[in-house]
Chains A and B, each alone.
Chain A
Amino acid sequence: MDLTMLLGTRKGLISYRNNHAGWTVENLSFEGQPVSIAYADPRTGTWWAGLDHGHWGVKLHRSMDRGAHWEEIPAPAYPQGEEIKEGIPATTRYIWAIAHGGDTHRSRLWLGTDPGGLFRSHDGGASFQLVESLWNHPSRKTGWLGGGRDQPGIHSIVVDPRNEDHIHIGISCAGIFETSDGGNHWEIRNNGLRAEFLPDPETGVGHDPHILVAAPSDPDTLWQQNHCGIFRSGDGARSWQEVSQKEGPARFGFAIAVAGDDPDQAWVAPARSDGNRIAINGGLCICRTDNGGKTWKELRKGLPQQNCFDIVYRHALATSGDALAFGTTTGNLFFSANRGESWETINNYLPMIYSLQFTN
């Protein structure tokens, strides 16, 4: 196995590499600084880091040599005069998602930000421009809300490998949006979702998908861990069906991952509830479905089962082949070589983990 786990944490970027000695730290960058997301572009091997300096603003860095050297490049910036809402200037508050544009658009890169702007690069990330068609969507100023953060944010960018101009994005709180022309036009795809935190739970916009993923083996199968349950779509997000457990733990949470080779196999990392964001009954479990969400299995072997308060943030659960891993809010990192059947602890003393990605 030649795998790397790339972590974005509250105190830096950390990469773990699997070798004959097991998992060892290969690189530590941006020591002490919040890395809101760490991302490895599989096309080029370039590593990206979105930084969230408390004082100095949001920054963007990239490395061509696995973190040995970093280059700061201009962070995505909202055009002069743009406003989040009337009287509130639009500035980049957080980089929450990074995705490459695919093999047919080798120089294209996407960034999702708080306060709700999607940015696109045509030059490999040297510069980014706001996607104005989405920013000017008629639903934004009146229908998008903060969720977890003060302002709306784009945390999910899902590029269809069959047609890389076909993209779904997830916004908290607005919901799922789809473009079929590379970002010129957008459709809302929230049919079947519920927003129980709004007066009208079946509102067209204002939903809170915590994270959106597509099955690599069937991109028309999409999954989301939503604020109000787990939802699956088999028709490219045109309709959503809830697949949460009524009585079991698989219901509230932030993260979701789907198997690379099976659109019906997915994992979630349950937390107790939106009003009580801790592990359920003091124990950590990952839940897996092997049948598209009809049933869920609790995977606990090797995970702490008492006095545990960890939850898993939306970008901090990942899969690659049989490998599965997650990082927690309390800085624990767990790895499974068998799709979650059993777990080993990699580290108990990391900073709060914001993102985890498998790469080579």
Chain B
Amino acid sequence: MPTVRFTYALKRFFPAIRDTTASSGTLPDILREMEGAYPGLQSYILDEQGNLRKHVNIFIDGELITDRLHLSDGCKENSEIYIMQALSGG
């Protein structure tokens, strides 16, 4: 099952957040699952149109995703998904 790991910066807003396994396959599905585990989280990662926020990055197995609009990058059964803040501004 894919594992989602979160930047420490999100702990400020979601103190209980920690590495979490997901049961579903696509990235949008996984993010919806994380929203269930941590209500409100999705709005920190995606804007209201469902696009990845400008200063947030998602890596799947070490690779930065390329489809920031529809999040169509593929996940494998045991993928590691990192949700990180972009270091824009230095």
Contacts and interface: CB of A to CB of B under 8 A. Distances in A.
Is B one of A's binding partners?
yes
Interface of A: 53-57, 72, 74-75, 77-78, 80-81, 89-92
Interface string B53-90: 10110000000000000000000000000000110110
B48 A78 contact: yes
Measured as residues with beta carbon below 8 angstroms from the partner, the interface class of chain B is 10 to 19
Nearest to A78: B48
Nearest to A31: B12
A54 B55 contact: yes
A180 to B, nearest CB: 30
13 contacts: A54-B55, A54-B88, A55-B53, A55-B85, A55-B86, A56-B10, A75-B43, A78-B49, A89-B47, A89-B51, A90-B49, A92-B47, A92-B48
A56 B51 contact: no
B38 interface: no
B16 interface: no
- Consensus secondary structure, chain A interface: loop
A79 to B, nearest CB: 8
Given A78-B48, A90-B49, A92-B48, A54 B40 contact: no
- Consensus secondary structure, chain B interface: loop
Nearest to A91: B47
A56 B44 contact: yes
Nearest to B41: A56
Contacts of A74: 43
B89 A56 contact: no
A237 B81 CA distance: 55
B67 to A, nearest CB: 15
Nearest to A73: B40
A72 B43 CA distance: 12
Contact of A55 (B50, B51, B56): B56
Contacts of A56: 10, 13, 44-45, 53, 56
Nearest to B43: A57
A75 B43 CA distance: 9
A78 B89 CA distance: 27
B55 A55 contact: yes
Contacts of B43: 57, 74-75
B51 to A, nearest CB: 7
A77 B46 CA distance: 12
